Amino acid sequence: MSVSPPLPLLKRISPGLWVGLVWFAAALGPLVKYVLMPPRREYSLSYPRQGLDPLSAKLLLAIAFALVLTGCVLLRRRTSLGYGLLLAGTVASTLAWRQDEIPPAQYLGVDVALCYVAATRPRRSSLNAAAAALATLPCYVLLRQGLGIQDSGVIPEPYIALTVVIGWLVGNSLRQSQLHTEELHAQAAAQAVTAERLRIAREMHDTVAHSIGIIALQAGAAARVIETQPDKAREAMRAVEKTGRETLSGLRRMLGALRQADRDADREPDPAADEAADEARKPAPLHPSAGLADVERLATTTTAAGVRVEVWWQGRRRPLPADIDLAAFRIVQESVTNVVRHSGADSCQVTIGYGEDELTIEVRDRGKGTCADAEHDTGYGLIGMRERITLLHGHFTAGPGRGGGFLVAARLPLPAATATATTRAIETKAGAAAG
């Protein structure tokens, strides 16, 4: 199980802590400077030294601190309540100092909280939070007049309102960016599912088309010799039964996998349950070891069905990457299937060449089938082969051969890592033998 990397330190800090740091820094700074420190020549009209002398002012300031602290703790779990307590604490702190206006520095904590609300909550909720922050400014003006607090003539409300708007815009931009990222991830996941289903469809087509071709040949042979050679007819029908059962079993596994994927897409995600049941749900592939190693078995099966397949190997055989190995086998399989179904030939030749930097495949027959016949009849045979080669940056041709018949040729580039690994293995074995 992979372990996700830890978040950066700044992202590990909770939003309530960020809000608390900003708000308490703005609240404690004037308290230390103008009240706790020894008197200086400088003074502040907004924070007079005697402003906190009454017991009611001290009690109100303590209530403000408690409200803000509680709001910071609840900001993540109960955002609306925490945000409301933060606004109430800001107003209470301003009343404790008997200030004529809410200090802009004190409102920065509200702006940070609003930015978090806009980044994590739906737009309607964030707009309501911004409206509450803006409405608090004129409401305090009315409250100030009712309490008889004198006006200093400074009007900071427009500037504070501007910081509120900026805080909401920053948070909303973060949310839009997050939603866009999630949408891109969803699209990538949908594209991956589509690509996987197309791959499964190609695998099913290749396997089923080959099996149906073998069944048709065996059934035709059984029909021809059922009266003269009943034993061989019975053997051919057993081969038909075996091939049909294997094909149906593979189809059931694939359809079960697709239906399970649809059910998983409809239910709520549960990562723990998904991880626990991953191995149990994983269907067995149609051919677990499909690759060039199965070409000989493919040739034997097709020869037994009535079309002789000669396999020629050129170059030094070596392990290939799984995708190239599977694609090469499917090309041979589909080409042999087309020979069986369309060419009318009684034999074909498969040549597989291992080069230093590419793998070559040729399937040649002497029949009368054409490229158009094969493509129109199978629908996706040649198209599927071409897609496989294109995805692996190879070259594919299919058409009438020079001496007649039909020729399918493909060249697949081999990664440099494959050749390098092989060379190193040979050198290692040679060194071991020399030692």
Q: Stretch 213-224: mean pLDDT, rounded? A: 82
Question: What SS3 state is found at 91?
Answer: helix
Look at the chain and count its residues: 435
pLDDT at 156 over 80: no
Q: Stretch 168-184: mean pLDDT, rounded? A: 92
Question: How high is the pLDDT of residue 301?
Answer: 86
Most confident of 22-26, 68-72, 376-380, 398-402: 68-72
Q: What is the pLDDT of residues 310-366, one digit of tens each?
A: 999 999 988 888 778 888 998 998 888 888 887 778 889 999 999 989 999 999 988
Q: What are phi and psi of 320, to 5 degrees?
A: -120, 160
The residues near 253 (Cβ < 8 Å, ≥ 6 apart) are 283, 284, 285, 286
Whether the CA torsion 93, 99, 100, 102 is positive or negative: it is: negative
Q: What is the pLDDT of residues 51-90, one digit of tens each?
A: 677 888 889 889 999 999 999 999 989 999 999 999 999 9
Token pair for residue 79?
A: 């955002």
* Rounded Cα distance, 338 and 371, in Å: 10
pLDDT at 435 over 50: no
Token pair for residue 172?
A: 């909303």
pLDDT at 395 over 80: yes
Task: Tell which wins on pLDDT, 48 or 343.
Answer: 343
Element (H, E) at 411: strand 406-413
Question: How high is the pLDDT of residue 259?
Answer: 63
* Rounded Cα distance, 406 and 373, in Å: 11
Most confident of 72-76, 104-108, 216-220, 326-330: 72-76
The residues near 407 (Cβ < 8 Å, ≥ 6 apart) are 362, 363, 364, 397, 398, 399, 400, 401
Q: Which among 6, 25, 31 is positioned nearest to 68, based on CA atoms?
A: 25
Q: What are phi and psi of 25, to 5 degrees?
A: -65, -40
Identify the burial level of 129 via C-beta atoms within 10 angstroms of its C-beta, where 0-12 means exposed, 13-18 middle and 19 or more buried: buried
Q: What is the pLDDT of residues 117-143, one digit of tens each?
A: 999 999 999 999 999 999 998 888 788
Q: What is the pLDDT of residues 260-304, one digit of tens each?
A: 656 655 555 544 434 433 433 333 344 444 689 889 988 988 888
CA angle 205, 209, 212 (to 5 degrees): 140
Question: How high is the pLDDT of residue 369?
Answer: 56
* Rounded Cα distance, 78 and 272, in Å: 26
Most confident of 71-80, 182-191, 192-201, 398-407: 71-80
pLDDT at 147 over 50: yes
Question: How high is the pLDDT of residue 283?
Answer: 37
For residues 340 and 213, the answer to whether their CB atoms sit within 8 Å is yes
Q: What is the 3-state secondary structure (H, E, C) of 259-301?
A: HHHHHHHHCCCCHHHHHHCHHHHCCCCCCCCCCHHHHHHHHHH
Q: What is the pLDDT of residues 194-212, one digit of tens each?
A: 776 777 677 677 767 777 8
